[in-house]
Amino acid sequence: MSGGYHSARDLRGPLTLDCDVVVVGSGAGGAVVATELAESGLRVIVLEEGPRVDASVHGQMRPSESMRHLWRDGAFMAALGIGDSPTINVTMGRGVGGSSMLTGGVCFRVPGPVLREWQRELGLEDFTEAQLEPYVSRVEEAIHVEEVPVAMRSRSTALFAEGAAKLGMPVHAMRRNTRGCDGCGRCNFGCPHGAKMSVDLSYLPRAVAHGADVWSHALVERVVTRGTRAVGVTGRLLNGRGGAPGDRLTVHARRVVVAAGAWHTPALLMRSGLGHPRWVGRQMTLHPGFRVLARFDESVRGWQGALQSAYCDAFEGDGITLMSLFVPTGVLGATMPGVGEEHVAAAARIGNLAMFGGIIHDEGGGAVHRGPGREPVVTYRMSPSDRAKIPRVITHMAETFFAAGAREVFIPVLGSRGLDADAFRATDLARLPTSRIECASQHPLGSARMGCSRENSVVDPEGRVWDVDELYVADGSVLPTSLGVNPQLSIMTVATRTALRMRERSLPAR
Ligand SMILES: Cc1cc2nc3c(=O)[nH]c(=O)nc-3n(C[C@H](O)[C@H](O)[C@H](O)COP(=O)(O)OP(=O)(O)OC[C@H]3O[C@@H](n4cnc5c(N)ncnc54)[C@H](O)[C@@H]3O)c2cc1C
Ligand code: SF4
């Protein structure tokens, strides 16, 4: 069998395969590397633990069904807060296309100051804006990055922009990887119109056209080494009862690329006894995120319009980025305060709600530990300076909505009711117990960081795991710091660089 999509769930009995390059994980990083290498003539196999879902199927699933089938563990993953840190709900995709399938489509280049930090702190001297330009342009063309027109903004976003204008804060148009988006606002549950150019639509079909095999329901458990060289992977076909691990999977390869995402790549390296223990699974950053809802007298119907269409960088210097978002009404209804009649009354006003989100450009503090089962245990110790930003990010959003005429705001604090401007200003956010703060992340990064020395990193500037031949990492885990902006374009840019450098390096003999 060659050049196609295959489901390991349909197989009976063990599977052994052979290729030039095996890529573990089919998300933003893995799909890019697989495609670039397949197009250079190499025999590539992609192994993905999750299912493959067609665009037409996305539209048939309710959001709760998408979460069950395509979000890892039904979106119930968390980084456990240590010390004065909130526990952070971390979501990621599990399927062909990885988390790329679930994005709001937001695309940012690696910010210049972040690159300069990488050059200064990690010795990544070749990571300048000019030197990355060919790679980022290549990705932007492949995934069709375009600016969201103001006309596609939801009323929710327009209201925030009105408030921001009154406060003198700039709001910019977002760039997204879309083609023919109709603004239906379903992006986080898979685009039903095939308009979001996630890697399952933009990259993997190219890889398959060049002979790559993409296996879904294929769980990798270990990287296999011979001497100091990676020579393949082993794992399980998820063909047991209800998709549980079943028959053995063995792939012999001349090169191994791990792109299982920042949550699972370090776990796989640890399980395989690879990578320097000082850095593998350490320094994970998350972009801790918060959202504020605001109730207006007018009908807002915030679900109509491009999901994420604008952002505000007024507080960039303080490590805070604000951006538009909305969540499906069913999910939103469940988050409204009260029980019984009170909850029904609150949920009935969903059509009057606007929403904005804010993320912290965090210092890191996440650590991946081997868990009792397949999933790692992740802890997060927020730095005091990041902790101090939580009240500020919430206040910026609330005050912007009040400036736009909001009657009350709902802040991300468990047990909190709607607060009018006076009640909000009387709330001492800095003294709220951290355990009451609702915090979410979609951006785990940095757990197998890149650097110029084995003393400061897991992989070298080419993406190679130090001291292991033919073992590469090409996903969000190599980005050595947080970015302060959504990461998919940066992950794909670095993965492209890694793939094109890999092409220049001949494969070893078997
Ligand atoms: C809801 C949501 C919205 C987002 N919105 C945006 C946005 O608008 N803009 C943006 O820039 N970013 C966004 N992101 C983040 C972005 O999607 C991720 O940063 C990016 O996709 C990460 O790429 P990756 O290659 O590191 O991992 P992923 O894309 O997560 O891919 C990893 C893949 O590896 C698979 N895998 C893991 N372990 C194994 C194993 N052992 N064997 C086989 N397969 C395995 C996983 O199932 C997964 O499919 C969003 C993320 C989420 C969850
Ligand atoms: S808003 Fe656009 S990109 Fe998002 S799901 Fe709808 S059509 Fe797809």
Nearest ligand to the C-alpha atom of residue 266: 1
Q: Whose CA is nearest to atom 37 of ligand 1?
A: 260
Of the candidates 408, 425, 441, which is a domain's last residue?
A: 441
193 touches ligand 2 (CB under 6 Å)? yes
Residue 68 lies in a domain: no
Q: Answer yes or no: do 402 and 334 share one domain.
A: yes
Q: Whose CA is nearest to atom 52 of ligand 1?
A: 442
Q: Answer yes or no: do 290 and 376 share one domain.
A: yes
272 touches ligand 1 (CB under 6 Å)? no
Q: Digits of tens for pLDDT over the chain (510 positions)?
A: 469 999 999 999 999 999 999 999 999 999 999 999 999 999 999 999 999 998 889 989 988 899 889 999 988 899 999 999 999 999 999 999 999 999 999 999 999 999 999 999 999 999 999 999 999 999 999 999 999 999 999 999 999 999 999 999 999 999 999 999 988 888 999 999 999 999 999 999 999 999 999 999 999 999 999 999 999 999 999 999 999 999 999 999 999 999 999 999 999 999 999 999 999 999 999 999 999 999 999 999 999 888 799 999 999 999 999 999 988 888 888 878 888 998 888 888 899 999 999 999 999 899 999 988 889 999 999 999 999 999 999 999 999 999 999 999 999 999 888 999 999 999 999 999 999 999 999 999 999 999 999 999 999 999 999 999 999 999 999 999 999 999 999 999 999 999 999 999 999 988
Confidence (pLDDT) at 330: 80
79 touches ligand 2 (CB under 6 Å)? no
Q: Which atom of ligand 2 is nearest to the CA of 184?
A: 6
Q: Answer yes or no: do 40 and 55 share one domain.
A: yes
CA of 305 from ligand 2 middle (Å) equals 9
Q: Answer yes or no: do 336 and 385 share one domain.
A: yes
Tell me the C-alpha distance between 173 and 106, whole Å: 11
Token readout for 309 is 């269409």
Q: Answer yes or no: do 435 and 461 share one domain.
A: no
Q: Answer yes or no: do 336 and 352 share one domain.
A: yes
What is the DSSP-derived secondary structure letter of residue 48? -
Q: pTM of the entire structure? A: 0.97
Q: Whose CA is nearest to atom 2 of ligand 1?
A: 103
180 touches ligand 2 (CB under 6 Å)? no
Q: Which of 36, 76, 92 to mutate to test the pocket of ligand 1 (most atoms within 8 A of CB)?
A: 92
How many domains would you assign to the chain? 2
The burial of 316, by beta-carbon neighbours within 10 Å (0-12 exposed, 13-18 middle, 19 or more buried), is given as: middle
Residue 495 lies in a domain: yes
Tell me the C-alpha distance between 219 and 92, whole Å: 16
Residue 74 lies in a domain: no
91 touches ligand 1 (CB under 6 Å)? yes
200 touches ligand 1 (CB under 6 Å)? no
Q: Whose CA is nearest to atom 35 of ligand 1?
A: 25
Tell me the C-alpha distance between 182 and 295, whole Å: 26
Q: Answer yes or no: do 390 and 416 share one domain.
A: yes
Confidence (pLDDT) at 238: 98
Confidence (pLDDT) at 2: 62
CA of 304 from ligand 2 middle (Å) equals 11
Confidence (pLDDT) at 64: 86
Confidence (pLDDT) at 1: 47
Residue 71 lies in a domain: no
Residue 66 lies in a domain: no
Q: Answer yes or no: do 47 and 108 share one domain.
A: yes
Residues with a catalytic annotation lie at 443
82, 163, 218, 271, 376 from 371: Cα distances, Å: 17, 46, 20, 10, 4
Domain at 472, CATH number = 3.50.50.60
Domain of residue 199: give its range.
5-61+94-146+191-280+447-503
CA of 342 from ligand 1 middle (Å) equals 38
Q: Answer yes or no: do 258 and 396 share one domain.
A: no
Nearest ligand to the C-alpha atom of residue 375: 1
Tell me the C-alpha distance between 91 and 71, whole Å: 7
Domain at 386, CATH number = 3.30.410
Of the candidates 441, 459, 486, which is a domain's last residue?
A: 441
Q: Whose CA is nearest to atom 6 of ligand 2?
A: 184
Token readout for 27 is 């998300």
Q: Answer yes or no: do 246 and 394 share one domain.
A: no
CA of 262 from ligand 1 middle (Å) equals 8
105 touches ligand 2 (CB under 6 Å)? yes
262 touches ligand 1 (CB under 6 Å)? yes
191 touches ligand 2 (CB under 6 Å)? yes
Q: Answer yes or no: do 19 and 106 share one domain.
A: yes
DSSP secondary structure string for all residues of 461-494: TTSBBTT-BTEEE-SGGG--S--SS--HHHHHHH
Nearest ligand to the C-alpha atom of residue 59: 2
Q: Answer yes or no: do 176 and 297 share one domain.
A: yes
Residue 27 lies in a domain: yes
CA of 444 from ligand 1 middle (Å) equals 9
Nearest ligand to the C-alpha atom of residue 447: 1
Residue 81 lies in a domain: no
Q: Whose CA is nearest to atom 13 of ligand 1?
A: 103
Residue 67 lies in a domain: no
**CA-wise closest residue to 148 among 171, 178, 169, 170:** 178
Query: Which residues, at least 6 apart from 71, have a Cβ–Cβ distance to it below 8 Å?
Result: 91, 92, 93, 94, 102
186 touches ligand 2 (CB under 6 Å)? yes
**CA-wise closest residue to 448 among 468, 469, 475:** 475
Q: Whose CA is nearest to atom 6 of ligand 1?
A: 103
Of the candidates 388, 412, 441, which is a domain's last residue?
A: 441
Nearest ligand to the C-alpha atom of residue 289: 1
Tell me the C-alpha distance between 42 and 433, whole Å: 54
